[in-house]
Structure 1
Amino acid sequence: MTFAFDDPGIMRRLLRDLEELEAGKLDTADILAKAPLLEDHRLVLGWCHAMKGIVTGHPLLPDGGEIVTSQLMYMNPDIGLARTLSRWYRLGMPRPKKGH
């Protein structure tokens, strides 16, 4: 079986973002202001780690729908920011843990 990634530009943007984040050159306030919001979020594991939640402000998906993101590459819940393979997300409230 042959597998080819369909858009190498996605990987280049991801790598650039993670390098800028590591170097302290990333404007996280600007990212948080523009990124889609993911509420009631939680980690999910399928063929990779991803996030599931209710999205608002996504450029391709309708508001209020439950989505599963692309592969999770970075997450900092302290500042409410996550980077998936394809985009940044602003993290709202996580899904409450069962029994709480």
Structure 2
Amino acid sequence: MRATQNGIYLGDDRHALLTRLQSLVADLSAPDFPQLSSIPVMIDSYKVSRREVPCLLGTAFGHPKILDGHASISSELFYFDPERGIARTMSRWYRLGTPANPQF
């Protein structure tokens, strides 16, 4: 995690994170995918798996898909600023309430 003046951009500084996310958007929104022969990296003996990423755990209020007062696990957390009371995940902005562990 890298601290900034206003919070933490998880995994990178703000510019590097934006560059990576813009590259992902450009690749996925392109009308055609690249030719197989032009992709230099190959992964062999692969399988789809899962890995841990930073996220928010808590009780949701005002979420479009989770009933108020129910447990919630957010998508990947990219920005966290407890002093301003906000966080940004892959999906949306969150207003931060009371932390479960104030000694974060």
TM-score, normalised on structure 2?
Answer: 0.48
Higher relative contact order, chain-length normalized (CA < 8 Å, sep 6+): 1
More strand by share: 1
